[in-house]
Amino acid sequence: MESLKEFASEILEDGVIDAEEVAKIKERIYADGVIDAEEADFLFELNDAVSGKENDSSWTELFVEAISDYVLKDEKTPGVIDEDESNYLISKIKSDGVVDATELALLVNLSATSISVPDNFNEFVLDSLKTTIIEDGIVDEEEVEMMKKVVYASAGASGSDIDRMEANMIFDINDATSGKEGHHASWKPFFVEAISKHLLDDEASPNEIDEDEGNWLIERIEGDGEYDNNEKALLSYIKENAKKIDGKLKFKMDMFVS
């Protein structure tokens, strides 16, 4: 049997990966039912070589499935991304200086399906997702779904709750894309839901906005110098649903929320 290096050269001869080649790759790497380190490296090598090309959609599906199997179906830490696996994934994805759509799909899948992940992996996923969304300037339906999978994943820093890092990512995206046309209709309700969940579903002050939360929210909303439609909708929701609002936030709401 030819080596994986020789096999890679054969696959990459025309510069793209088509459906027939995906089938050949899958047959080869799953021949023994297990994805090993050499095969994982092989898949990353292939993806780097064809990144941004017109590959068959089944390539992304196989890549995500196989790499997920490699880190989540191992005997040492099944279902969990440990520190070594996290460092491996981050190193491989960062090696060519870009997180492409296939690698982002992998990160989102791992966030959604892992039992737990290290903090550095969670931070890398959030940064990668934020960068990708901000780069194209609008928030589309697929990107909203990816954010939902990541921030509501049980493997995140606070489980299915929204922590401060996740809330800041969502606000960063809103600030960077505020006022632009073309956002999917699901973006605004997701923004309101996620930030409200962060503020009202916490253990320290459930269903209330304490002074720290209020100050954070004011800083985030006023950081770009405007109260946009998403932020006004968020304030309206909080005003209607919070049992108690402490600090300066109540005064701000009286000014900007009817």
Write the DSSP assignment of 55-97 as a string of letters.
--HHHHHHHHHHHHHHHHS-SSSTTB--HHHHHHHHHHHHTTS
Among the ranges given (1-10, 42-51, 85-94, 243-252), the one the predictor scored with the smallest mean pLDDT:
243-252
Mean of pLDDT values over 136-140: 94
Pairwise CA distance, residues 59 & 148, whole Å: 24
Q: What pLDDT score does 198 carry?
A: 95
Q: Are the C-beta atoms of residues 122 and 157 closer than 8 Å to each other?
A: yes
Pick from 129, 252, 120, 231: nearest CA to 171: 231
Higher pLDDT, 142 or 226: 142
Mean pLDDT within 241-252: 88
What is the rounded CA–CA span in Å between residue 60 and residue 64? 6
How wide is the angle at C-alpha 171 spanned by C-alphas 166 and 174, nearest 5°? 130
| pLDDT tens per residue across span 79-134 | 999 999 999 999 999 999 999 999 999 999 999 999 999 999 999 999 999 999 99
15 dihedral zone (left: phi>0; alpha: psi -120 to 50; beta) = left
In angstroms and rounded to an integer, the radius of gyration of the C-alpha atoms of the chain is: 21
Task: With cut-offs at 50, 70 and 90, classify the pLDDT of residue 153.
Answer: confident
Could you tell me the end-to-end alpha-carbon distance of the chain, in angstroms, rounded to an integer? 72
Confidence of residue 155 (pLDDT cuts 50, 70, 90): low
Tell me which of 65-69, 134-138, 191-195, 245-249 is least confident.
245-249
Mean pLDDT for the stretch of residues 153-174: 80
Which of the residue ranges 155-159, 243-247, 248-252 would you say has the lowest mean pLDDT?
Answer: 155-159
Is the CA virtual torsion 66, 67, 72, 77 positive or negative? positive
Summary count for the chain: helices (H), strands (E): 13, 2
Confidence of residue 57 (pLDDT cuts 50, 70, 90): very high
Which tokens hold the place of 66?
Answer: 């196989």
Predicted structure pTM score: 0.93
From CA 245, how far away is CA 147, in angstroms rounded? 28
